[in-house]
Structure 1
Amino acid sequence: MASFQSEQQADRDQLAWVQFGLAMLGDLLHLVVDKAEHIVWLTHIVSGVGYQHRGRT
């Protein structure tokens, strides 16, 4: 019985590391997307995209 329990513990520990790794990956991807959105937003503000008034054609 002790052998079976130690295998379960090992599986649980491995799953915990996988979950932790996925959480860290999610945080990293969120940071990258956040920075990219900020850069795009600043680029639009600086270049005036979306703020230019165009007359009727």
Structure 2
Amino acid sequence: MIPKSSLWIIPLQKAAKNLVSAASSAERKIELEKQVECAVYLCKIEEGEEMGF
């Protein structure tokens, strides 16, 4: 049994877990966006657009 004085900790722990998972998914999203930007840039170079050919 959890002492009543400790009950307020449980919602904080849940909120902290939610924040951590949101932050890690945001990091993954940013990483994916960077990878997509790099892929698009490399495709443009291969097609000669960036080089001005």
Q: TM-score range by the shorter chain?
A: 0.7 to 0.9
Identity of aligned residues (%): 16
For 2:7, the equivalent position in structure 1 comes to 7
Distance 1:45 1:29 in 2: 24
- 1:14-33 Cα offsets, whole Å, 9 max, x none, are 01100000110011001100
Instruction: Report the Cα offset of residue 7 of structure 1.
Output: 2.1
Match of 1:32 in 2: 32
Q: What RMSD in Å do the two structures reach over aligned CA positions?
A: 1.3
Quote the Cα distance in structure 1 between the aligned partners of 2:7 and 2:30.
Answer: 35
**How many residues of Structure 1 are paired with residues of Structure 2 in the alignment?**
50
Structure 1 gap ranges (5+): 53-57
Return the index of the structure with the highest Cα Rg. 1
TM-score by length of 1: 0.77
TM-score under structure 2 length normalisation: 0.82
Q: Which stretches of structure 1, 4 residues or more, deviate above 3 A after TM superposition?
A: none
Tell me, in whole angstroms, the C-alpha distance in 2 between the residues paired with 1:45 and 1:7: 58
SS in 2 for 1:34: helix
